[in-house]
Amino acid sequence: MDPISALSVASAVIAFVDFSWKIVTGAAEIYRSVEGTTNENARLEDIVQDLETISKRLSSSPREEENAIENPEEFLG
């Protein structure tokens, strides 16, 4: 086997092992999680909820906004 083919096979094997490792560790994290999700997904879910809240408040009229936000800390989370 020529060196370039050997390098190609070795890199494919390393990529496969890396991909498999990520799948196994992700599955283990989900299995151990109380919520049934990874920490990354839980963090992204919090970000999406914050963005939805901000988007709703931006699309409301200023008068509705004054009534909705009594405490500025509530808006910032």
Q: Using one digit for the tens of pLDDT, what is the confidence trace for 18-76?
A: 999 999 999 999 999 888 888 899 999 999 999 999 998 888 766 655 655 555 565 55
Compute the half-sphere exposure of residue 18: CA atoms within 13 Å on the CB side of its CA. Answer: 6
With 0.75 as the threshold, say if the pTM is over it.
no
The whole-number pLDDT of residue 63 equals: 65
Tell me the C-alpha distance between 65 and 43, whole Å.
27
The phi and psi torsions of 36 (rounded to 5 degrees) equal: 80, 25
Question: Could you tell me if 68 and 52 lie in one domain?
Answer: yes
Same domain as 49, residue 77: yes
- Same-domain pairing of 43 and 70: yes
What is the reported pLDDT for 37? Answer: 87
Do 58 and 68 touch, CB atoms closer than 8 A? no
Q: Locate tokens 């050997």: which residue?
A: 6
Q: Which domain holds residue 11?
A: 1-32
How many domains does the chain divide into? 2
Same domain, 28 and 51: no
* Alpha-carbon span 47 to 77, nearest angstrom: 11
